[in-house]
A and B are shown apart, each in its own frame.
Chain A
């Protein structure tokens, strides 16, 4: 194995039998059937999860990134580590975008040890910086599932019961080096209601199957980069909360953004509380969000107030979290015969809602795109995501 991934050339990598991807479905080839099953699963995922399910909106998520020797494998380009970290950056951004009132922490494991890269925190910047830095680290030794889960558990077990406690493991190695019986740990995790999900980068490992099954998480193995990204994005959506989790009211502050112009005489530049620990920029600004309880100033939301511990969010943040709770109705497939349109093979419309049963011109345009996708047989049909759908409804 090459020690320096940067210097590795394409021709040093493995064979890629690219022609096999193009294989026709006629002979019932392996590729086609498995992809068909995946496509079915994807469709199912889109359709299900509707109805009134309680979701764990406040999430505390630890991501464990395997940094063992096997991460130097070049089946993801340029290698597994770089590829994973890049996707993680994207994930962190998306995560905070969709779950503004949640927190994330990152743990790496290599050489039989686990190391906390970042602590649980609600600010994406710190995580992104840490991820960027981690690209240069070397991958050595074996990972330890036990140690890393243990590190995550030590923090998560102190989190309040109404939050959703999750661990996501990105596991590249096929072995784990554990100091004790991992099945005991799995029991503890289960008792603490910590959900562990695993994304495997190489193949299905038994212990991960058990781990996820016992703790109620999901276990997926990637096929390639795009599938990896897709799987990672599944974890952006908040998971259903267990029925036994507590309900409690949370105090939240909704600070107004105060904009002060330079011409204003009363305005004095001040430091944001966030800059207390960051040494970079000076951070003297005029405007900002002021905590309604203690008047501490912040430049960005959402954040937990450093002074009084109040969770500060803005209304749009909450609204964004909200669409997970009240998702749109599923689209319904209508064959051409039943639909009196002219040009399109298939049409889709939202069921039940009478206002939608007559499909507007805008909507038919959209279905045309879908129909083309169906015709080419490309399995990766992009469903209109929720944001766009909301947009449609305002048009009508």
Chain B
């Protein structure tokens, strides 16, 4: 249908539209008009993706000079593929309606592992291996050697692409990963490099967060994206953690050992080259004296996305003399390495700030701040000069050099924690140096700075005001949308007590309590008797789950549950978990029924959807607080308090509730879906917890569903499941939660729609 969104003609490729989608597009349009950033929360299953795509594409077509590119960031490869499919639908609709030839180029980009078509390289199993092998076939000096010595293997796909691919633009259309591979095979071009090249002039790019947020990758891939782009982060409820992870470095003794080998290899190579080709090193030296002028010019003319690892002021300067020659640099790295080794030889926990660390390193081994800052850049240059083919081997030294640059660049927002052993195994020495980023805004700052509109959206972003604060940006629209429903298809219940009236909670003091564990067991047992097909239960941590399951086994609860349903358990092993998941789905499919015990923050709670019968009920045992004893977390909390005036408790609750919401939200993936959401902890009934749940869940949380006993829960659940099992057809939704064009245009519907969005 063709919609008029605030004066903009939007093609929407479906016959019906949800009222909240219309409202969402209105807000989105407003954000784009203002050329600002937005935070939008809308429940999953209400078609966020298609709203984003159809509005932004319409905007691009209407104002080609205002918005030139859409960069859509998602989390996983399947999600990326889904976005491309929606886009394809949209473009087909455009083609049908306007009968004009499609001139849009949209493509998905993923790692080499997903795009490689080289017969040998693509057969490798791990991403890192593929990257390394690819590099050893396509590096510029390898190709130069190939020219003089044809027996040197190169990748013919890359050669072909390099010869002709750059001149001939890829024809407009929608390309998902497989389309790119097919296209590549047909032309004999490398799809990965083709895609990387094509994103520069594509209208729509769909790829993973890391291509924008991780400084190492962003520098390669996204540096040249146009400033007039709209960037969308979908499923962005975890974006702060992604930012932090991309900036943090963990160094173990193994890293150092491998780094040691790297340094030795470097040294050997240098001495060999010196004998054969001293001019090369001389040339490099000359380049370094001139400094990083090129990069500086580029940044000044605003051509590139800036890189947080490459701070502004070092671009002004030349590489300091002490590390300019290759041998000096290797010696420098050796010293740095020895220092780190010495630091790891400790028996107690050390926590210090970056200035403290720099002072210490200056006193102990006389390493200045300035050369440290150039470490990453210098190493890159050296690796290029030495023509080292397989750079995967050098990941350790690259990591250390990044660490060196970061630690000397940022005096705020980072902390260094050296732990002699892991908390769980206090007897085994396993020293780790955590260089941990506490400020997610550092990684995302260039993104907000460069692009004119950045949209952060997800099903669970409540409370909305916290994201702008921790990411340090000023949005123009902040809105939360509810799900309009023809029937109440979600049923959140807070269970606070067992039938024996003992309070149910995962609070630290009582979590080992026999009665609490038994009550949790009884809850699961009772639910397993009334909920059909699949139940997903989430625990707060692996250790807690192990304890409880062991205890249930001793009490015989597990045996009783198994009479009703099969039990599957998520473990930390990815292969085991995916096996369990597969079997779980099979059991749900053939009527046997199953329970999946998993962990909040685990793999299951984030990426896996439990549509329809795969999750008729989700039980959240306890409040999934992050492990509060961790020093990294403590440091981060302190930082948040000092910098952003966010109290520890507020942040912890926010973090716990977004994970809880994420877990229970797994069960409802659309308006025809239905499921019970059981929060099994009395603390959820408190206003400060309840208030942090997304609005679309809160709305259905009535006073009657707080602090229930197990019996009451069973009664309510039974009733709910029967109600929901009644036949429900599309006509029942029509006019209420599903609109045709005429219905949408009626006066009172427009009024109703205006109320859907809640501005924060």
Interface size class of B (residues with CB under 8 A): 35 or more
- B712 touches which one: A15, A175, A208, A222 (CB < 8 A)? A15
Residues of A within 8 A of B718 (CB): 14, 75, 202-203
Instruction: List A residues 125-155 near B (Cβ within 8 Å).
Output: 145
Residues of B within 8 A of A221 (CB): 722, 725-726
Instruction: List A residues 10-64 near B (Cβ within 8 Å).
Output: 14-17, 30-31, 33-34, 37-38, 40-41
Q: How far is the CA of A44 from the CA of B165 in the complex (A)?
A: 62
Please determine whether B711 and A14 come into contact, CB atoms closer than 8 angstroms. Answer: yes
A350 at the interface (CB under 8 A from B): no
Residues of B within 8 A of A122 (CB): none
Please determine whether B488 and A204 come into contact, CB atoms closer than 8 angstroms. Answer: no
- B732 touches which one: A37, A175, A183, A207 (CB < 8 A)? A37
- B725 touches which one: A17, A70, A183, A200 (CB < 8 A)? A200
- B593 touches which one: A38, A41, A75, A175 (CB < 8 A)? A175
Please determine whether A202 and B589 come into contact, CB atoms closer than 8 angstroms. Answer: no
Q: Looking at the assembled complex, report how far the CB atom of B263 sits from the nearest CB atom of chain A, in whole angstroms.
A: 59
Residues of A within 8 A of B533 (CB): 174, 205-206
Please determine whether A203 and B725 come into contact, CB atoms closer than 8 angstroms. Answer: yes
- A174 touches which one: B564, B589, B711, B728 (CB < 8 A)? B564
Once A14-B715, A33-B486, A204-B724 are accepted as A-B contacts, the answer to whether A175 and B616 lie under 8 Å apart by CB is no
B695 at the interface (CB under 8 A from A): no
Please determine whether A182 and B488 come into contact, CB atoms closer than 8 angstroms. Answer: no
**What is the 8 Å Cβ interface bit string for chain B, positions 719-733, against chain A (1 contact, 0 not)?**
111111111100010
B324 at the interface (CB under 8 A from A): no
A244 at the interface (CB under 8 A from B): no
Please determine whether B715 and A207 come into contact, CB atoms closer than 8 angstroms. Answer: no
B714 at the interface (CB under 8 A from A): yes
Please determine whether A34 and B487 come into contact, CB atoms closer than 8 angstroms. Answer: yes
Q: How far is the CA of A309 from the CA of B719 in the complex (A)?
A: 50
Q: Looking at the assembled complex, report how far the CB atom of B286 sits from the nearest CB atom of chain A, in whole angstroms.
A: 71
B40 at the interface (CB under 8 A from A): no
Residues of B within 8 A of A209 (CB): 613
Q: Looking at the assembled complex, report how far the CB atom of B612 sits from the nearest CB atom of chain A, in whole angstroms.
A: 7
Q: How far is the CA of A204 from the CA of B592 in the complex (A)?
A: 13
Q: Looking at the assembled complex, report how far the CB atom of A179 sits from the nearest CB atom of chain B, in whole angstroms.
A: 12
A178 at the interface (CB under 8 A from B): yes
A355 at the interface (CB under 8 A from B): no
Please determine whether A206 and B592 come into contact, CB atoms closer than 8 angstroms. Answer: no
Once A40-B732, A203-B532 are accepted as A-B contacts, the answer to whether A182 and B590 lie under 8 Å apart by CB is yes
Residues of A within 8 A of B723 (CB): 30-31, 34, 223
Once A15-B711, A175-B564, A203-B722 are accepted as A-B contacts, the answer to whether A37 and B592 lie under 8 Å apart by CB is no
**What is the 8 Å Cβ interface bit string for chain A, positions 68-93, against chain B (1 contact, 0 not)?**
00100001000000000000000000
A176 at the interface (CB under 8 A from B): yes
Q: Looking at the assembled complex, report how far the CB atom of A139 sits from the nearest CB atom of chain B, in whole angstroms.
A: 14
Please determine whether B727 and A220 come into contact, CB atoms closer than 8 angstroms. Answer: yes
Please determine whether A33 and B487 come into contact, CB atoms closer than 8 angstroms. Answer: yes
Indicate the member of A16, A183, A204, A221 with the most B CB atoms within 10 Å. A204
Q: How far is the CA of A206 from the CA of B725 in the complex (A)?
A: 11
Q: How far is the CA of A17 from the CA of B711 in the complex (A)?
A: 12
Residue ID in chain A nearest B566 by CB atoms = A175
Please determine whether A37 and B590 come into contact, CB atoms closer than 8 angstroms. Answer: no
Q: Looking at the assembled complex, report how far the CB atom of B584 sits from the nearest CB atom of chain A, in whole angstroms.
A: 13
B530 at the interface (CB under 8 A from A): yes
Q: Looking at the assembled complex, report how far the CB atom of A224 sits from the nearest CB atom of chain B, in whole angstroms.
A: 9
Q: How far is the CA of A177 from the CA of B593 in the complex (A)?
A: 10
Please determine whether B591 and A206 come into contact, CB atoms closer than 8 angstroms. Answer: yes
Please determine whether A222 and B591 come into contact, CB atoms closer than 8 angstroms. Answer: no
Residues of B within 8 A of A17 (CB): 715-716, 719
Residues of A within 8 A of B486 (CB): 33, 37
Q: How far is the CA of A316 from the CA of B593 in the complex (A)?
A: 49
Instruction: List B residues 106-147 near A (Cβ within 8 Å).
Output: none
Q: Looking at the assembled complex, report how far the CB atom of A302 sits from the nearest CB atom of chain B, in whole angstroms.
A: 34
Residues of B within 8 A of A222 (CB): 722
B664 at the interface (CB under 8 A from A): no
A181 at the interface (CB under 8 A from B): yes
B417 at the interface (CB under 8 A from A): no
Indicate the member of A176, A203, A222 with the most B CB atoms within 10 Å. A203
Please determine whether B530 and A202 come into contact, CB atoms closer than 8 angstroms. Answer: yes
Residues of A within 8 A of B716 (CB): 17
Q: Looking at the assembled complex, report how far the CB atom of A144 sits from the nearest CB atom of chain B, in whole angstroms.
A: 10
Please determine whether B591 and A203 come into contact, CB atoms closer than 8 angstroms. Answer: no
Please determine whether B715 and A181 come into contact, CB atoms closer than 8 angstroms. Answer: no
Residues of B within 8 A of A202 (CB): 530, 532, 718, 721-722
Please determine whether A203 and B616 come into contact, CB atoms closer than 8 angstroms. Answer: yes
Please determine whether A183 and B726 come into contact, CB atoms closer than 8 angstroms. Answer: no
Please determine whether B592 and A176 come into contact, CB atoms closer than 8 angstroms. Answer: yes
Instruction: List B residues 695-727 near A (Cβ within 8 Å).
Output: 711-712, 714-716, 718-727
B212 at the interface (CB under 8 A from A): no
Q: Looking at the assembled complex, report how far the CB atom of B719 sits from the nearest CB atom of chain A, in whole angstroms.
A: 8
Please determine whether A203 and B714 come into contact, CB atoms closer than 8 angstroms. Answer: no
Please determine whether A205 and B591 come into contact, CB atoms closer than 8 angstroms. Answer: yes
Please determine whether A203 and B715 come into contact, CB atoms closer than 8 angstroms. Answer: no
Q: How far is the CA of A14 from the CA of B590 in the complex (A)?
A: 30
Residue ID in chain A nearest B712 by CB atoms = A15
Residues of A within 8 A of B588 (CB): 206
Please determine whether B612 and A206 come into contact, CB atoms closer than 8 angstroms. Answer: yes
Q: How far is the CA of A231 from the CA of B565 in the complex (A)?
A: 28
Please determine whether A178 and B726 come into contact, CB atoms closer than 8 angstroms. Answer: no
Q: How far is the CA of A33 from the CA of B728 in the complex (A)?
A: 11
Q: How far is the CA of A253 from the CA of B266 in the complex (A)?
A: 104
Q: How far is the CA of A31 from the CA of B613 in the complex (A)?
A: 22
- B532 touches which one: A31, A145, A181, A206 (CB < 8 A)? A206
Residues of A within 8 A of B719 (CB): 17
Residues of A within 8 A of B589 (CB): 206-207
B738 at the interface (CB under 8 A from A): no
Residues of B within 8 A of A204 (CB): 532, 613, 721, 724-725
Q: Looking at the assembled complex, report how far the CB atom of B492 sits from the nearest CB atom of chain A, in whole angstroms.
A: 13
Residues of B within 8 A of A15 (CB): 711-712, 715
Residue ID in chain A nearest B612 by CB atoms = A206
Please determine whether B721 and A41 come into contact, CB atoms closer than 8 angstroms. Answer: no
Please determine whether A207 and B721 come into contact, CB atoms closer than 8 angstroms. Answer: no
Q: How far is the CA of A155 from the CA of B557 in the complex (A)?
A: 42
Q: Looking at the assembled complex, report how far the CB atom of B498 sits from the nearest CB atom of chain A, in whole angstroms.
A: 15
Residues of B within 8 A of A181 (CB): 590
Instruction: List A residues 173-202 near B (Cβ within 8 Å).
Output: 174-178, 181-183, 200, 202
Please determine whether A205 and B532 come into contact, CB atoms closer than 8 angstroms. Answer: yes
**What is the 8 Å Cβ interface bit string for chain B, positions 588-617, against chain A (1 contact, 0 not)?**
111111000000000000000000110010
Q: Looking at the assembled complex, report how far the CB atom of B655 sits from the nearest CB atom of chain A, in whole angstroms.
A: 32
Residues of B within 8 A of A38 (CB): 726
B531 at the interface (CB under 8 A from A): yes
Please determine whether B564 and A207 come into contact, CB atoms closer than 8 angstroms. Answer: no
| Sampled A-B contacts (10; CB under 8 Å) | A14-B718, A15-B715, A34-B726, A70-B529, A176-B592, A178-B591, A182-B591, A203-B532, A204-B724, A206-B612
Q: Which A residues lie at the B interface, using CB under 8 A?
A: 14-17, 30-31, 33-34, 37-38, 40-41, 70, 75, 145, 174-178, 181-183, 200, 202-209, 220-223
A181-B590, A204-B613, A220-B725 given; 19 more Cβ-contact pairs under 8 Å: A14-B714, A15-B715, A17-B719, A30-B487, A30-B720, A33-B487, A34-B723, A37-B732, A174-B530, A174-B532, A175-B593, A202-B532, A203-B721, A205-B532, A206-B589, A208-B591, A221-B722, A221-B725, A221-B726
